A and B are shown apart, each in its own frame.
Chain A
Amino acid sequence: MKQSAVQQSNRRAYPRSSAGDGGGVAAPADGSVFKSPGVIFWPAFHVLCCLVSAAAGFRFSRLLFLLLFSPLAPSSSSSSFPRQHLRLPLVRQQPATALPSLLPPPAVLPPPPPPNSKSLASSRVVVGRHGIRVRPWPHPDPAEVARAHEILARVQQEQRLQYGVKDPRPILVVTPTYARTFQALHLTGLLHSLMLVPHPLTWLVVEAGGLSNETSAILSSSLVPVLQLPFREQMPVVWSDRHRLEARMRLYALRVIRERRLDGIVLFADDSNVHTMELFDEIQKVEWMGAVSVGILAHSAAPETPSRKQQREGDKENSHLPIQGPACNSSGHLIGWHTFNSLPYAKKAAIFVGEGVIVLPSKLEWSGFVINSRLLWKEAEGKPNWVRDLDDVGINGEEIESPLDLLKDATLVEPLGNCGKKVMLWWLRAEARYDSKFPTRWVIDPRLEIIVPAKRTPWPEAPPDLMFQQMADDEEHTREHVSKKSKSSRSKNSYRKKKKREANVNTQVSDLSIADVK
């Protein structure tokens, strides 16, 4: 392609004997023609004019025509040069040649060729010089751009229909969650991912500690149908206990699916995980139970510590992202599992939620498995016998670590995603300290309208009743001054200031008391 494009660009680079007038015959005049002096005269004149043009730096023939022929009616000159066709510009042409374009076209200096009877009369297309059409407003029309996007969306939908998943089965997404500082961050991300999925979806959100307003507020903007399931126990603060509780919460959701005989493919989506859209297409291929590869982002929440730097140097050989998932042999059969090697991190792992060190995943994360919901039903057509009945699972204190415990025979799990080679979701845990506070539903109520000036600002100490007026007048100044300092210092200062002024300040200044902030 490069070659052909370059070819096109250079293709007539070679025998251009005339520097100026284009359109002239460019065949090299090999073999001198000694016919008559008249025939020699014109080429010689041509050469002379070319040399003059080259010397002057522009095609002086245009100037000549301007001076000589402009009073003439254009029709007479154009009739004698029928080969050159001029389209008068609609608006403008190339700016450099604006002047000559208004003239009758300059002939090539050899005598004008006879009216070309060879170019057939019925041809609409004329060879020669053409104008470049530019419309008066060469800018995009927003309505047309919107229409183009509609067309793109429709074409992509058609592509999905033709080449994508046919007859998609509904997906049942199971998410254990609880109200905490980072919940809004994670749950909103997951919510938007699920809203993009083109297949029918039901979202089962199991919430530890019962239903809360926080979760309901986030889920209220969901366009996918949500089933909120309260779970009575509170989420523990130790990571290992938390993993166990999450497993029980997921099992609870599976029981709900079994009771209500919900149909579809069960996907375990933890609220802090990141999913690609290809995952939702890939899981449609599962028959009974499938496994996908999960990328483990264990280092995600940890700040850069010297020990971590050393560790990084230490595992330079294993600098690849650790992945949990099915392992296959060369013929594509499942032979084992890639799990997370937690030995290097054993001493440095987080114990409490929100510690600033890495969080370790369990051996095999739940999110790497998908289950056909019919596997969970009491009776289903074609249900295989290598699955344990759900009622027998988890009783008598049995710990379910991964969905493999739901099976009698773990070798019959189907590896998905090109036998685990394609990573379509990532596991990560990023949490604030378990005792961190955040505003209810992330609404700061009442709003931060009043900016109490900090001690360092040049505002004079003003009596309380004049404070508003002054601030209303100098609002712009205040903003400018405030923005110079860092936000934290301002808030700190204003908080301190407020504490000091609590006695002096009017009740009009609303107190952002800590009690209101959760």
Chain B
Amino acid sequence: MEKGIWGFTILIVCSLASRTEGLGMDQNRQILGFRGNAGDALDDDPVGRLKVFVYELPSKYNVDLVKRDPRCLTHMFAAEIFMHRFLLSSPVRTLDSEEADWFYVPVYPTCDLTKDGLPLPFRSPRMMRSAIQLIASEWPHWNKTEGADHFFVVPHDFGACFHYQEETAVERGILPLLRRATLVQTFGQKNHVCLKEGSIVIPPYASPQRMHAHLLPPDIPRSIFIYFRGLLHDGMNDPEGCYYARGARASLWLNFKNNPIFDISTEHPSTYYEDMQRSIFCLCPLGWAPWSPRLVEAVVFGCIPVVIADDIVLPFADTIPWTDIAVFVAEKDIVRLDTILTSMPTEIILRKQRLLANPLIKLAVSFPQPSRPGDAFHQILNGLARKLPHGSSVYLQPGQKVLNWTAGSVEDTYPWEK
């Protein structure tokens, strides 16, 4: 009995010792990879795991829009154009629609820009509707599933809600015709109407050539603690200041404009990219929408992103370990942002920087041309591949109709003139 107790305690002590020793070794080791499985999925290769059929739509839906306004190639919504180009020459593309797992509809709904370069979303629903009517009438695949095995790239502010203002977008909801399709979008917020179950959240487009042109050698010492450049008050659309960014950006300014460790302003310096490479933390607060290219730029330049957007869903959240890389601050904690960031243990900051230095992550959030294995295009395909094989609810009985083609606002049913 006594011997049993002794043996038991010795066993417990040994197991504890081995565990702590393991932890200690873990910490001492240079952690360049990730714990767990999250990081491994980054270099999955989608080729061979899925087949995508690209519909051949008339050029008025895609190519002509870009010809008319080439600014679409450089703004933050350009992912829809580059995804199309990528798929056209990708090995996952199949020309035989019968063997395809996924169908891609190449429309560029965001390529309708104002004089200032802002996308107008008012005709986008009509364009979508027109495109879907076309594919439903010319190919049999839409009617088989009512779009459940089709995917669309909708990188606009609130995805397929097609509006830039959140209240209106929420009212409209996701376009009824797209309710069964898989949406590849930049917008992501938990429990939000405009983020459908099964959507793939992708990073916004930031020009890789431009970013690489401003790359500095990594031994330039990081001398800025917290960095932010961008709008802090939207005087034109929100003169009071209580709507834009849910008051978060205005709060940042009022609390920290005099703080020497914060370098925040609304200026547009030409050294914006270089300054990010000289900073430890880059703030990524929400604006009118919770996402912005700032996150991508911070990741590429090795600056720890400080995400201030409640309930945001970050791109490729199932493969990129955002909690290990970024810092999340609740909007109600903005007033304590300086305390939060300065009280972070140095080891954690260094660890985040080491993880950010991983080239796989930088590649996963960028859209390089030509495409490289592991980049955002491939992550999108991986996401689609993970949803295979399609469940039984995807396929409908012949003649069965689930979607309501007359639902939604009346303006959306008007013909798209072009």
Residues of A within 8 A of B (CB): 1-14, 16, 22-23, 25-28, 30-31, 83, 90, 93-94, 96-97, 101, 113, 116, 118-120, 122-125, 127-135, 138-141, 144-145, 147-148, 150-152, 154-156, 158-160, 162-164
Contact = CB atoms under 8 A, between A and B. Distances in A.
B368 interface: no
A160 B168 CA distance: 51
B165 A134 contact: no
Interface of B: 71, 74-76, 114, 116-118, 120, 122, 163-168, 170-171, 173, 189-193, 217-219, 221-223, 225, 229-231, 234, 236-243, 246-247, 250-251, 254-256, 258-261, 268, 272-273, 280, 287-288, 292-293, 310-311, 332, 334-336, 338-339, 341-344, 346, 349-350, 353, 410-411
Contacts of B410: 31
B117 A3 contact: yes
A3 B261 contact: no
7 contacts: A3-B75, A7-B76, A8-B230, A118-B193, A125-B310, A131-B242, A138-B254
Contacts, number: 206
A134 B254 contact: yes
Ranked 3 nearest A-B pairs via Cβ: A123-B191, A163-B219, A135-B335
B276 to A, nearest CB: 10
Contacts of A10: 116, 118, 236
Contact of B342 (A2, A31, A148): A148
A11 B342 contact: no
Given A144-B261, A159-B222, 8 more contacts: A25-B167, A25-B171, A26-B165, A94-B240, A124-B191, A140-B338, A152-B223, A158-B353
A423 to B, nearest CB: 19
B251 A11 contact: no
A50 B164 CA distance: 23
Nearest to B191: A123
Given A151-B349, A162-B218, A12 B332 contact: no
A13 B250 contact: no
Nearest to B350: A158
A22 B243 CA distance: 9
Contact of B311 (A124, A138, A148): A124
Contacts of B231: 5, 8-9
A101 B173 CA distance: 30
B321 to A, nearest CB: 21
A212 to B, nearest CB: 39
Contact of A163 (B76, B192, B218): B218
B249 to A, nearest CB: 9
A343 to B, nearest CB: 40
A128 to B, nearest CB: 7
Contact of A22 (B238, B311, B344): B238
Secondary structure of the A contact surface, majority rule: loop
A156 B165 contact: no
Contact of A116 (B170, B229, B310, B344): B170
A154 B223 contact: no
**Interface-centre pick from A6, A10, A125, A158 (highest chain B CB count, 10 A):** A125
A96 B240 contact: yes
A5 B250 CA distance: 16
Contact of A152 (B120, B167, B225, B310): B225
Given A4-B76, A5-B230, A124-B310, A12 B255 contact: no
Nearest to B346: A154
A151 B254 contact: no
Contact of B243 (A8, A25, A124, A129): A129
A4 to B, nearest CB: 5
A512 to B, nearest CB: 45
Contacts of B74: 3
Given A8-B231, A11-B118, A120 B193 contact: yes
Contact of A145 (B76, B237, B260): B260
B158 to A, nearest CB: 11
A93 B255 CA distance: 12
B243 A130 contact: yes
**Interface-centre pick from B120, B165, B268 (highest chain A CB count, 10 A):** B165
Contacts of B167: 23, 25, 83, 127-128
Given A23-B167, A127-B167, A145-B261, A11 B225 contact: no
Contacts of A5: 229-231, 268
B293 A4 contact: yes
Nearest to A126: B246
Contacts of A164: 219
B240 A160 contact: no
Contact of A140 (B71, B243, B261): B261
A110 B325 CA distance: 46
Contact of A7 (B116, B221, B236, B250): B116
A23 B116 contact: no
A153 to B, nearest CB: 10
Contacts of B339: 141, 144
Contacts of B332: 133
A119 B280 CA distance: 37
Contacts of B241: 94, 132
A155 B279 CA distance: 10
Given A13-B237, A135-B335, A148-B342, A163 B217 contact: yes
